[in-house]
Amino acid sequence: MNLARLISETAAKYPDKPAIIFAGKTWTYQEFDRQVYNYAASLDRLGIKKGDRVAIQLPKCIEFLFLHFAVLSIGAISLPLNPDYRPEEIVYFLTDSGTSLFVTNSELLSKVRSAIQDLTELKILLKEELLPSTPEVILPKYPAGGDDIAMICYTSGTTGRCKGAAISHRNLIANMKALHKAWEWSDRDILLHVLPLFHVHGLNVAALGCLYAGATMIMFEKFEPRQVWETLVSESCTLFMGVPTIYQRLINECGKLESQANLQKMRLFVCGSAPLSDQQFYQFENITGFRILERYGMTETGMNASNHIAPEHRKAKSVGFPLEGVEIRIVNPEGKDVAIAEVGEVWIRGANVFQSYWGMPDKTAESFTDGWFHTGDLGFQAPDDNNRLYLVGRAKELIITGGFNVYPKEIENVLESHESVKESAVVGLPDNDFGEKVVAAIAIKEAINITPEELIAHCKIRLAAYKCPKQIFFVTELPRNAMGKIQKNILVQQIITPL
């Protein structure tokens, strides 16, 4: 089954229903489907065929979606790229993927033109030049099938080269159907979309889920907290998806509103892409009456687990239970299952799991054992709560000090329980005596005075001595990527080590 075909079938079912509202204009499902078909015809005239890679680097716009689904419909492979990537990064992605066509706009092209001038086989198409028209020929009907690659999504690459996760149509469809059931999507839903489209959260979870359900998506180019609160009410929205940074800004803005937002139509506030703190979870509940639903996913697998939609089943710190069709194991470094409640690496198996890392057979082989994908995430299952899944950090972030394992997330939770702490990040730095020492970078709330010694004392009351930070650095803010995830490698390189 081809993913674009499924979306076209939804369009046939709801032809006159609003599909997307963006920049003051509404596209019905029929209009959306027609635009996708016309864009596909334009790609066909350019000679793009099944298996070709089409890189899309555009600011958030409706044309991004037309183009993305047009690429999938003709059997080509979509390669969404962050508009903020540097020229060197763009060259790497285009070269590594063997991209045939690079679609961008004139402003972004001006920044990378000199860097990509040696890619002589690369076709470049500006968004302004991509003028869809009625096709002169009948296009092939969705030549790519379930096992064919639909997308290549590059991981953040905090260690070594960025890896391109090759995701098939079957992977995307299986995950979409599991989420559709778990979150009870329907054509009556109205999603307020503020996430970037180049990321799997904004594209494969939010936008794709909405279009598959026949729901309506109100799409903003940029996130503005007050505009979000106003639109949730005025447009009777039912769904909203964000990252912790977005929710923190919504919390901050809520206190400035003249009156509390009337959210009687809302069903779900969903959070992912980075861990939500306890403080944010409970603050948002106190302000709105809604418990945020946390889920667990990654580039290579899509969504793996989710809390149930019933409010009483949503818990702080937990990412819930495996989605339908997804299996989860918690294993030790030898690949053996740990006892329930013990921390280990999370392994995933299911139709949602990607096929391979593009052009990296050795890296792919290292990442799988008997069909189980090694996520690199550390977690445990709670025996007193039906084996609910909790994540405690990344395996590569594990700190070993004096022979003891320390999980940064545990310490961050304790630090953020202090009234003065806005956010924190805990890392391990080399230490002659203990191998590694625990170090924390902390952003303090405005107009509050606190010393490192006071925060260390706060930890000593609540944690074993070996877990407590040996040093604390104060920072204005923590470095984050486009999805709000704290970049600890940059934190160490640019902030902590120089100090």
| Residue 267: both structure tokens together | 């069903």
Spatial distance between the Cα atoms of 415 and 212, rounded to a whole number of angstroms: 41
Q: What's the rounded mean pLDDT across residues 120-136?
A: 81
Res 130 pLDDT > 90: no
pLDDT at 255 over 90: no
Confidence of residue 140 (pLDDT cuts 50, 70, 90): low
Contact (CB, 8 A) for 207 and 241 = no
For position 424, what pLDDT does the model report?
Answer: 94
Pairing of strands 190-193, 149-154: unpaired
Residue 66's pLDDT is 97
| Mean per-residue pLDDT over the chain, rounded | 92
pLDDT at 22 over 60: yes
Q: Diameter of the chain by CA atoms?
A: 74
CA distance readout (Å), 57 to 52, 114, 120, 185: 16, 16, 19, 29
- Give CA separation, 228 vs 69, 120, 175, 231, 273, in Å: 27, 44, 27, 5, 19
- Identify the band that residue 159 occupies on the pLDDT scale cut at 50, 70 and 90: very low
Q: Sorting pLDDT into bands at 50, 70 and 90, what band is 493? A: confident
Q: pLDDT tens digits for 175-223?
A: 999 999 999 999 999 999 999 999 999 999 999 999 999 999 999 999 9
Q: Which of 109, 103, 32 is nearest to 65 (CA)?
A: 32
C-beta of residue 52 within 8 angstroms of C-beta of residue 103 = no
Supply the pLDDT for residue 63.
97
Residue 451, both tokens: 């010393």
**What is the pLDDT at residue 303?**
97
Percentage of residues of the chain with pLDDT beyond 70: 96
Lowest mean pLDDT among 39-48, 85-94, 403-412: 403-412
Q: Average pLDDT, stretch 336-359?
A: 97
Band (134; pLDDT cuts 50, 70, 90): low
Give yes or no for residue 81 having a pLDDT over 60: yes
Predicted local distance difference test score (pLDDT) of residue 225: 96
Cβ-Cβ contacts under 8 Å for 412 (sequence gap 6 or more): 277, 424, 425, 426, 440
494 pLDDT more than 80: no
Residue 156 is predicted with a pLDDT of 63
Give pLDDT, residue 407: 84
Rounded to whole angstroms, the Cα distance separating 284 from 308 reads: 18
Least confident span in 10-14, 172-176, 204-208, 407-411: 407-411
pLDDT average, residue stretch 367-378: 96
**Among candidate residues 83, 35, 88, 37, the one with its CA nearest the CA of residue 59:** 83
Hey, what domains does the chain have and what are their CATH numbers? 3-180 (3.40.50.12780), 223-395 (3.40.50.12780), 398-496 (3.30.300.30)
Place of tokens 């490192």: 452
CB contact burial 400-434 (16+ within 10 A = b; e otherwise): ebeeeebbbbbbbbbbbebeebbbbbbbbeeeeeb
Indicate the range of 70-84, 108-122, 138-152 predicted with least confidence. Answer: 138-152
Q: Is residue 69 scored above 70 in pLDDT?
A: yes
How many Å apart are CA 386 and CA 378, to the nearest integer?
A: 19
Give the pLDDT mean for 123-148: 80
pLDDT at 448: 86
- Percentage above 90 pLDDT, the chain: 77
Distance separating alpha carbons of residues 459 and 45, to the nearest angstrom = 64
pLDDT at 444: 94
pLDDT over 90 (residue 160): no
Residue 368 confidence (pLDDT) above 70 = yes
Q: What integer is the mean pLDDT of 41-70?
A: 96
What pLDDT score was predicted for residue 257?
80
Grade residue 133 by pLDDT with cuts at 50, 70 and 90: low
φ, ψ dihedrals at 427, nearest 5°:
-135, 165
Higher pLDDT, 393 or 259: 393
Cβ atoms within 10 A of the Cβ of 345, count? 20
Given a contact cutoff of 8 angstroms between Cβ atoms, the answer to whether 352 and 327 are in contact is no
Q: In sequence order, what are the beta bridge partners of 373?
A: 348, 368
Tens of pLDDT, residues 410-430: 899 899 999 999 999 999 998
In this predicted structure, what is the pLDDT of residue 481?
82
Q: Residues 32-45: what's their mean pLDDT?
A: 93
Nearest to 248 by CA among 234, 233, 228, 263: 228
